[in-house]
Structure 1
Amino acid sequence: MGQASSAADGYKALDMLATSVAVVRDDGTVLFVNAALEDARGISRRVLVGSHFPDSFSQPAHLRTALAGAGDREFAALRYDAWLLRMGRDPLPVYVIVTPTEGPEMVVELQPLEQQTRKDREERLAELAQANKELIRNLAHEIKNPLGGIRGAAQLLEMEMDSAELTEYTQVIIREADRLQSLVDRLLAPHRRPHVVGDVNIHEVCERVRSLMLAEFPKGLTVVQDYDTSIPEFRGDSEQLNQAVLNIAHNACQALGERIAQGDAILTFRTRVARQSTFGRQRYRLALELHVIDNGPGVPDSIKDRIFFPLVSGREGGSGLGLTLAQTFVGQHHGLIECDSQPGHTDFKILIPLP
């Protein structure tokens, strides 16, 4: 009992973690479990300490093998998926991380599989966003110079022509060159404009966007304000965030076309404080959660995984830049945009760290 009590005292800091953690011997005997693991199992630590930890899983052999490998120092850490048994509830899918310590103990960390999947997705999206940013910037610069030459040549050619019919062709070239120039300017916009930092009130941003949406769609659209007014101001670029929220809301209203015609379109702005939130590979004590929700048809399945990619649009005639720019602007605030969509409910969630 004294040895178990001493181990518990040494690992008390693990009770502060939201992740389930057990400290075990290489034979699987439990020396300590933190409060999160108690909650996950539905069993008190007094019962768990001294038990055989592999028996906490639907397939105990996997953990026994992992502990044996850790004991022989065959790896720095071993990871695998498993099912954690729970008292009175269905087994929980978890991501298991077994890490040897300098002593005879092993640390076994359990993350809900959904949490690990989300973390992997965030990292993948961050890498893609960075790659897209570099690609867009380089491509836009490569297009810009020859585009100016094409337009200038068309203008000079037009000056030499007497035929109105032929002039019409040069005008087509000039108009299309101008259209492409406008597209290039929009691609380069986030990288040209300096990041102007000041105090941002997110509800002022939401209200500006709400006014613009009601001005553009005065009939058939209801805008719901569901605000947590306790959210503090934070340092950021209000114009960039205004543009990000505007792009998301405008996309939503475009998707709500049929419901607006029917008179039952709903756009909701919801703000909340997220506590102990992890995104962008960091954990934040407080974060802003801004939801832009619509009751439209949802994001088409064919582009769900690519909606933040440049030039990907679910609407005919759309540029496919609105969400790309929104993601860039939010990313410059160390934030993240997530999308959860099904017919009748599409929720774009913006997460930004709070002081």
Structure 2
Amino acid sequence: MKLQPVVPFEPVLASQLPEGDQWIAQIKWDGVRMLSYCDGNDAELINRRGNRRTLQYPEIADPRAYCRAGSVILDGEVIALSGGKPSFHEVMRRDSLKNAAAIKSVSPQVPVLYMIFDILYCNGTWLLDQPLSRRQQMLGEMLLPHPHVQNVPSYARPSELFTAAQSGGLEGIVCKDINGTYAPGGKDSRWQKRKIVFDVNAVAGGVTYRDGLVNALLFGLFDSKGQLHYIGHAGAGRMTAQDWRTITAQAQQLRTGDMPFTAVPQRSKGAVWIKPQLVFKLHYLEWNSSGTLRHPVIQAQLDHPPLSCRIEQKG
């Protein structure tokens, strides 16, 4: 593929909704950020971290099936639904697969949607310096009907969409300046996310057992010096019985006599320490004054570097 992968633009976390006629709002999808590429010959799907995911999502692997442009880069989110709502756990059942046979088997069980919200390159021309309003116009002109692809709708009243997202139990919304350009690798107030359900990527430093299986994990975040600070424990959540069997086997391999946290966690009775290598996405309601999470719920295990689980996520 001739096109070089783009690091996507990211929204900043906002405590209030922005005001002004230049702002539109979109649903924040609880999925996997994905850019779709076609240089006119080759096509690829590449995620936020620069990893190829073309194999994992064959139904959306070639943008020529859902975009009339000869060459293109599209930006969006791959989601899977559970109970009518996006489920990060469900989409990770697809994203974590590595071989074609498993993908072919699981794909009918976990159908995905590609929610496209931006177009960065079209027919040999970069659109990064074009305002969002123009990029959205071009996206609408280029997308073709497809059962696994949707053009993400925009709303002129962010407060109304936020209320609707709250009622629907969705993750939140993203507000975007329609005059804003797109900065690859950037993160600033041109895009602002207002969350209903918060999330954090955390590393497990300990486990507890019930009847020979891991039933909960003790989580932490690293500071700039590489020290691991305890942020809470969680069990159950979205994890299946097979997930817990897998975690039990992993924990057995990572057992250590050394406690990895900077201080002994309050909920450490019966805990077995493990080397901090297993990374998970957690949902939570808020941070307690003690520095721990209120009501953390495990969403899925991630293939992320442990040291990427930083305390700065609290901001």
**What is the TM-score normalised by the length of structure 2?**
0.24
**What is the TM-score normalised by the length of structure 1?**
0.22
Higher RCO by CA contacts (8 Å cutoff, separation 6 or greater): 2
Q: Comparing both structures, which one devotes a greater share of its residues to strand?
A: 2
Q: Comparing both structures, which one devotes a greater share of its residues to helix?
A: 1
Instruction: Decide which structure has the larger Cα Rg and report it.
Output: 1
